[in-house]
Each structure stands twice: as structure tokens, then as C-alpha cells.
Amino acid sequence: MPRGFFRSILIGAALTAAVALGACRDTGGDGKLFEVSGKVVVFNYRLARATYVVTLRPLQPMGEGQVAVASFQNPAGGPPLVVEQKVWPKLDKVSLESPALTCIVKDKPYAISISIRGPDGTFLQKIDTTLISTEDQSILPDRPLVVDQLYTANPDLAGHPDGKLPGEPKPDCSKG
């Protein structure tokens, strides 16, 4: 057999292997960098606090200097609550948590918009989603049950083990 024949076979085999490996690469589809992998309203009964938490899963390797900017609908009304979170490339997820919330209503959808920005501020991806709570905020106590890192009982709640204080003012939820 001629010498060029084996060379052609080797080059053909190498090209076939390269194409097959390229086809197996996960690109994340449509250039998307992240997808929502979890979202929940967290009611921290001990701290009398509720927050939204959204988790993003990377679909591609994350770049240095990326930032996720989340805009959470404010259940009490008013402007959205905005949080900026650095994306750490070595972590397997990005968690975004809102500031403390008031006026959360059971079964009502709340809008969340997330923008992924590059190190120079360029827009890379936008994710819009909604979050629905399975509970009303009324399940929380009126004040935190503890007052420090040692979990010392809140003296304001003495004699009120359910955390509800008679006559305690409630937030104005008429705008939400």
C-alpha cells in the first residue's frame, strides 16, 4: 500500500475524533450562561424575617469579574429591591438573596429579573422569573425571638411564646 494511504487514514481518523469530541461539548444552549435551579421564600421564624432566595446554575464556565444583578419585586409596593452579587467562578452555583421583606401574600406571584454583567459592565444575559410563596408573612412573630449570636431570648417577647405582641403595629401592605 502506498505511504500516503496510511497518512490519509490517520488524518481522517483524527478529524472524525475531533468532530465527535466537539459534538459532545456542552455549550449551555443558545449562549445562555445560567439557569434558575431554585427559588424560594425563606421565612426565618427565629429572626422574624422573610427573604427571597434564587439560585443560579452555570451552564458554561463562569468568567472572572462577572456580576449578577437581581431586581426583586417589593411585596410592600414601591421600587424593586436590587441586589448585586459577584459571581465566583470556582463555585458551582450563585445564590441571590433579597433584603428583608414585608407584606408577602400566599399564592401571589412576585417578579424577579436577573441580569448577568461582564467585568466591564456589558450585558451578558437576562433571566426573568416569578416566585410564589406557600405562606403569608403573618406566620412570622412580631419581633425576633432571639437578640444575639448566643440565641438569647428576646426580652420584649416575655410572656408571649408565640412571638405575637398585642397592639403591635403591623406594616402597611395596602400598596403591594
In a domain, 78, yes or no: yes
What is the pTM assigned to this prediction?
Answer: 0.77
In a domain, 169, yes or no: no
In a domain, 63, yes or no: yes
The closest alpha carbon to 110, from 131, 94, 93, 90, belongs to 131
Give strand pairing partners of 46: none
Tell me what pLDDT residue 26 has: 34
Q: Which residues contact 109 (CB under 8 A, 6 or more apart)?
A: 130, 131, 132
In a domain, 13, yes or no: no
Domain that holds residue 41: 34-157
Tell me what pLDDT residue 30 has: 64
pLDDT at residue 59 above 50? yes
Could you count the other beta carbons within 10 Å of the beta carbon of residue 25?
6
In a domain, 42, yes or no: yes
pLDDT at residue 6 above 80? no
Domain count for the chain, please give it. 1
In a domain, 103, yes or no: yes
In a domain, 43, yes or no: yes
- Summarised one tens digit per residue, pLDDT across range 132-166 is 999 999 999 999 999 888 889 999 999 988 888 88
- The pLDDT confidence band at residue 174, using thresholds 50, 70 and 90, is confident
- Summarised one tens digit per residue, pLDDT across range 69-119 is 999 999 999 999 999 999 999 899 999 999 999 999 999 999 999 999 999
Count, in order, helices (H) and strands (E) of the chain: 1, 7
In a domain, 117, yes or no: yes
Q: Find the CATH number of the domain harbouring 150.
A: 2.60.40.10
Average pLDDT over residues 4-19: 41
Angle, CA of 80, 31 and 131, to the nearest 5°: 30
Q: What long-range pairs does 20-24 form, CB within 8 A, spacing at least 24?
A: none
